[in-house]
Chains A and B, each alone.
Chain A
Amino acid sequence: MKKIILPILIGAIGVTFAIADSDKESNIYAKKTLTKQNAKLEPLYKKECSECHMAYQPEFLPKRSWKKMMATLSDHFGTDATIDKEDSKKILKYLSSNAADSKRVYGDFRKFLKSIPKDKTVMKISEIPYFKKEHREIPKKFIAQKEVKSFSNCKACHQKADSGDYSERDINIPNYGRWDD
């Protein structure tokens, strides 16, 4: 008699997220696949850091920014976002190993990184010079309105922000509509 035992492995093995869309001219989202480091820690990050806003892609900020952010959660943009010590360590590991300057990043992630002065530790993606440049044409009233509130609310305009897709065809600004430039 033969027994075949199939253990079911739960856990992400080699999770990657593909960045769709390729813009011929600037090749913003090259058809490349970003490998996630420490993919098994991703669910913890996504759970703990999406309670008040979406879980931002770690590739948007350099390591030094994540380090400072995780060390200052008791005053996180004016709110207390403290996390259990063990979880906090794991999240920092996930964030710093996937940070923009920890691995090869492409497209906008790379442009964002390159625009940050070396001697600055930015705490907001929305304060990165290249971010500001990309968003400078949007009238203020569409940001201040209650459906958006601030640039931190990426998902209000970028409908697929959760999956790391910020391509123009999926932008829909509340009370304005699609963005064509």
Chain B
Amino acid sequence: MKKIILVTVVPIFISAAPIDGFLQQLEAQAKKENLNFSGFSAKRGEQIFTSKHIGKRGKKISCTSCHTGDLKATGENIFTGKKIKPLSPKANPKRLQNLKKVKKWLRRNFKDVYKREGTAQEKGDVLLYILKN
């Protein structure tokens, strides 16, 4: 009798949303940095996302320049023309799933728009805004 066994590697997915853990980390950090901190605010997040600033290229730019004002809409990288899928996890379930990717883009995008990294509070606020819209 012959048996053929196919060995494959099945990745194990952890079910709890990784973004929740990240928000908790950011919260702990925000409390350390700001004694008056009393939780993240989607309203402040919206302000961070939609307000214009003199960015890395010396021109006025906001998060909406590439992602549009509608988080469920397809955006476009203003520097290269490449399309960007919607940021909202409600429109695009792949969003905010991979923490390494989330951290990488927050770092890059804050540098482009604010010419500095975001604080823990700013990152939490803006993530909450994206999650809720």
Are A52 and B56 in contact (CB-based, < 8 A)?
no
**Chain B CB within 8 A of A118 CB:** no
Are A79 and B79 in contact (CB-based, < 8 A)?
yes
Given known contacts A146-B81, A153-B81, A80 and B3 CB-to-CB distance under 8 angstroms: no
Are B82 and A80 in contact (CB-based, < 8 A)?
no
Given known contacts A78-B79, A79-B56, A82-B108, A1 and B100 CB-to-CB distance under 8 angstroms: no
Are A5 and B107 in contact (CB-based, < 8 A)?
no
Query: Which residue of A8, A78, A83 contacts B6 across the interface (Cβ within 8 Å)?
Result: A8
Are B6 and A1 in contact (CB-based, < 8 A)?
no
- Interface of chain A: mostly helix, strand, loop or mixed: loop
State the total of A-B contacts with C-beta under 8 angstroms: 64
Least distance between B58 CB and chain A CB atoms (Å): 9
Interface bin, chain B: 20 to 34
Least distance between A50 CB and chain B CB atoms (Å): 9
**Chain B CB within 8 A of A134 CB:** no
Chain B positions 56-108 with a Cβ under 8 Å from a chain A Cβ: 56-57, 77, 79-82, 100, 104, 107-108
- CA–CA, A153 and B109, complex, Å: 21
- CA–CA, A133 and B43, complex, Å: 53
Least distance between B82 CB and chain A CB atoms (Å): 6
Are A6 and B79 in contact (CB-based, < 8 A)?
no
What total of chain A residues lie within 8 Å of the partner, measured CB to CB?
28
Given known contacts A6-B4, A83-B104, A78 and B82 CB-to-CB distance under 8 angstroms: no
Given the complex, which residues of B lie within 8 Å of A78, measured CB to CB?
56-57, 79
**Chain B CB within 8 A of A115 CB:** no
Are A1 and B108 in contact (CB-based, < 8 A)?
no
**Chain B CB within 8 A of A77 CB:** yes
Are A80 and B108 in contact (CB-based, < 8 A)?
yes
Are B5 and A3 in contact (CB-based, < 8 A)?
yes
What 9 A-B pairs come out closest when comparing CB atoms? A80-B111, A80-B108, A149-B81, A78-B57, A53-B80, A52-B80, A7-B7, A4-B4, A5-B5
Interface residues, chain A, with chain B CB atoms under 8 Å away: 1-8, 51-53, 74-75, 77-84, 146-149, 152-153, 156
Excluding A80-B111, A153-B81, 8 further A-B contacts by CB distance (< 8 Å) are A5-B7, A7-B7, A8-B8, A52-B82, A78-B56, A80-B108, A82-B107, A153-B80
